[in-house]
């Protein structure tokens, strides 16, 4: 997987490597409950600015991929443009399902991409008759050992949506409008993990709607052409 710096709007290759699971990355935690404001830039195809206390602390950058092929790649950087978390989408559970693999990255390493460690898989289930329980989080590697049980998604994204483990709420999302939404992380929570999970769900949800719109538009165009013959 290749990482890039997007400073000055130029994509400069930084490194390319295969994730190495033997590396253990420390968690980023805060000693008190922390609110993050995520500001989506849809013109960037998935770019977002992530703020805390009205100060930008992270940025999410889309690196490539296609909405139709479900192969999007995103990176969460610090404000110096150094990668902290990489996210890669793929098909899962048949044609209608999708998932994003999240890998933690150590920006202090001489070769950051070599430190990419899988931490979780976020799944969007297809063929669901209800919006409830559509998403699933599978913890991977060392991250799975840090929790007494799996992380459960509860609610209807993005309304009244929470992340829980062993019945305890760890983080929650409130999204009153498409472009700005809030993520609350409990004190001591793995900040990058929950930012990554929430952003993965938001991205997959948005792009699912885009695919439906493209499908309806294509069907309408074909119908119009057929009707004119």
Helix (H/G/I), strand (E/B), else coil: 215: helix
What percent of the chain has a predicted confidence (pLDDT) above 90? Answer: 43
Alpha-carbon torsion 92, 93, 98, 104, what sign? negative
Which one, of 74, 38, 35, lies nearest residue 58 by Cα?
A: 38
Amino acid 6: pLDDT: 47
Q: Dihedral angle at the C-alpha atoms of 90, 148, 184, 173, nearest 10 degrees?
A: 50
Q: Are 72 and 89 in contact (CB under 8 A)?
A: yes
Q: What CA–CA distance (Å, rounded) separates 36 from 174? A: 11
* Per-residue pLDDT band at 223 (split at 50, 70, 90): very low
Q: Span 13-29, mean pLDDT?
A: 55
* Domains of the chain and CATH, by start: 30-214 (2.40.160.200)
Amino acid 18: pLDDT: 45
- Between 74 and 95, whose confidence is greater? 74
User: What digits encode the pLDDT tens for the residues 140-191?
Assistant: 988 988 887 789 999 888 777 999 998 899 999 998 887 899 999 999 999 9
Q: Which phi and psi angles does 225 have, rounded to 5°? A: -65, -45
**Strand segments (E) across the chain:** 2-5, 12-16, 34-41, 47-52, 55-64, 73-78, 83-91, 98-104, 117-124, 135-139, 152-156, 159-165, 168-174, 180-185
Residue 67 has pLDDT above 90, yes or no: no
Residue tagged 């409990």 (tokens): 186
């Amino acid at each position: 997987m290749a990482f890039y710096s997007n400073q000055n709007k130029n994509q400069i290759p930084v490194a390319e490597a295969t994730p190495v699971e033997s590396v253990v990355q420390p968690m980023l935690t805060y000693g008190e409950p922390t609110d993050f404001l995520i500001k989506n830039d849809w013109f960037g195809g998935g770019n977002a600015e992530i703020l805390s206390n009205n100060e930008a602390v992270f940025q999410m950058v889309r690196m490539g991929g296609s909405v139709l092929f479900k192969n999007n790649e995103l990176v969460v950087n610090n404000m110096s443009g150094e990668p902290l978390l990489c996210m890669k989408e793929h098909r899962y559970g048949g044609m209608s399902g999708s998932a994003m693999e999240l890998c933690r990255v150590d920006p202090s390493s001489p070769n950051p991409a070599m430190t990419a460690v899988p931490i979780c898989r976020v799944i969007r289930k297809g063929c669901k008759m209800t919006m409830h329980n559509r998403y699933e989080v599978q913890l991977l590697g060392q991250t799975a050992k840090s929790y007494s049980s799996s992380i459960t998604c509860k609610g209807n994204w993005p309304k009244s949506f929470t992340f829980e483990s062993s019945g305890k709420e760890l983080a929650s999302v409130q999204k009153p409008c498409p472009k700005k939404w809030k993520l609350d992380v409990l004190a001591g929570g793995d900040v990058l993990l929950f930012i990554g999970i929430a952003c993965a769900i938001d991205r997959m949800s948005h792009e699912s709607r885009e695919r439906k719109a493209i499908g309806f538009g294509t069907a309408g165009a074909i119908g119009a052409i057929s009707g004119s013959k």
